[in-house]
């Protein structure tokens, strides 16, 4: 029997031809989509134009400012536009890279258990949906020209990016249905 794939994050508009997943941390102890959005609205691109707002496609909360493990898609995901999270050295990572940011500073402590489960689920689902190979799931620090620690030395990238057969069946590693973890796409997002 062919497993039924479940992707609760399927956008309503045509998908971009995603090639990469880029992982980030906020490097702060607290945060949510709103706070990051406000922060990013103050930024300007190379030509001096202000950013449209939050540069990531997804944010995963840590219990401070947003529910622990909650996955929130942003307006960039909803409308399938390029990200502003991967620097300008290699534009493909912004154009074709799905930016996922976890709230927290993983130089100091690893992501919470709920965050790890959620990011694993999200990465798995996106990898399956867009046929993104394991080696194209990258930490920010690998692609940035200038030095950054993002997403921190305690971010367990390999564990998160690898495949979990159960996710193919629409449940997380503990048997919880994907839909129940997805948060609602209907929620008003920036």
Q: Which residues bind Zn ion (CB under 5 A)?
A: 24, 140, 150
Taking the complex as a whole, the smallest distance from the CB of residue 150 to Zn ion amounts, in Å, to: 3
Other CB atoms closer than 10 Å to residue 159's CB: what's the count? Answer: 11
The minimum distance between CB 40 and Zn ion, in angstroms, equals 12
**Sheet of 137-139, strands arranged across:** 71-73, 58-60, 97-102, 20-25, 137-139
- Residue nearer to Zn ion on the CB measure, 66 or 181: 66
Tally helices (H) and strands (E) across the chain. 8, 5
CB of 57 to Zn ion, least distance (A): 13
Omega cis (within 30) before 151: yes
Smallest gap from Cβ 29 to Zn ion, in A, equals 16
Nearer to Zn ion, 24 or 117 (CB): 24
Residue with Cβ nearer Zn ion (121 or 150): 150
Nearer residue to Zn ion within complex by CB, 56 or 130: 56
Strand pairing class (97-102; 71-73): unpaired
Residues 106 and 61: their CA atoms lie apart, in Å, by 13
């Amino acid at each position: 029997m062919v497993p039924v794939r479940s992707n609760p994050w399927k956008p309503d508009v045509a998908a971009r031809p995603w090639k990469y997943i880029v992982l980030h941390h906020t490097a702060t102890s607290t945060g949510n989509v709103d706070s990051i959005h406000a922060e990013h609205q103050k930024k300007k691109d190379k030509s001096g134009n202000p950013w449209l707002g939050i540069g990531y496609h997804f944010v995963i909360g840590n219990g401070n400012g947003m529910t622990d493990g909650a996955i929130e898609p942003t307006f960039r995901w909803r409308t399938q536009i390029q990200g502003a999270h991967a620097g300008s050295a290699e534009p493909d990572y912004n154009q074709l890279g799905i930016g996922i940011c976890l709230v927290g500073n993983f130089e100091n402590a690893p992501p919470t258990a709920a965050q790890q489960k959620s990011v694993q689920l999200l990465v798995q689902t996106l990898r399956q949906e867009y046929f993104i190979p394991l080696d194209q799931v990258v930490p920010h620090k690998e692609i940035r020209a200038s030095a950054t620690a993002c997403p921190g030395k305690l971010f367990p990238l390999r564990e998160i990016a690898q495949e979990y057969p159960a996710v193919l069946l629409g449940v997380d590693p503990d048997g919880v249905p994907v839909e129940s973890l997805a948060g609602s796409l209907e929620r008003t997002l920036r």
